[in-house]
Amino acid sequence: MNPGPSPASGKAETSTRRRLLRMSGVVGLFLLSGCTEDVGEELPKNTKWPSAALKPELPVTERTDVLEERIEALADAEITDEDEFGATFDDYALEVEAVEREQNVLSIEYVNAKQYSEGNLHDIAPIAGAFAALLDSGYDVLGLGITVLDGAPASFGSASIEAEWAEAYNDGGLSAKEYGELVATTVESTRRPPEVGVSPRE
């Protein structure tokens, strides 16, 4: 009858196995580090951040800056009637199709030839400035409806300006940025005519 392995020999075997596992782990890490180092040497060094090409050039022009600049550029102009209002935008290359007054609402239609490169705010901002100048001369309306046309021409956008916003800007109650932001909230890319919040009876 063979006696089974003694407790002492079992512990010795377990200890030996652990040593072998530790040694193999150390050897594996050593070999792996060598391979990683070789791969790193084969690749070119990174000389710039991967996202560098995606960063915009500074300083970035914010929407409020565009609104402020273009509103202020025309807010001090001498504009007293519809004809002068429509002729004010030659320097901005706006092709004004019509300026009309119906009851107490003024409307303007213009062609935005740069709709894809600049968008609508670049054009609506000077219109807002000119509208403030028109009201400052004593012209009395309750609002301005803006219809944006494409090259067809067909309506693809609209905006509206309440007279009280322009008057608040003229009186110093609103900054150019605040006035512009109010106007910007009304901009829509639709094919419906603009709507000004004025009752037909007013």
**pLDDT tens-digit readout, 1-22:** 555 555 555 555 555 655 555 5
Contact (CB, 8 A) for 163 and 134: no
pLDDT, tens digit, for every residue of 57-100?
A: 544 445 677 788 889 999 999 999 999 999 998 777 788 999 99
The DSSP bridge partners found for residue 146 are 108, 159
Top mean-pLDDT range of 15-29, 76-90, 145-159, 182-196:
76-90
- Residue 30 scores a pLDDT above 60: no
Give the global pTM.
Answer: 0.62
Q: What is the pLDDT of residue 155?
A: 65
- 113 burial level (CB within 10 Å; 0-12, 13-18, 19+): middle
Mean pLDDT of all residues belonging to the chain: 74
Q: What is the mean pLDDT of residues 46-51?
A: 50
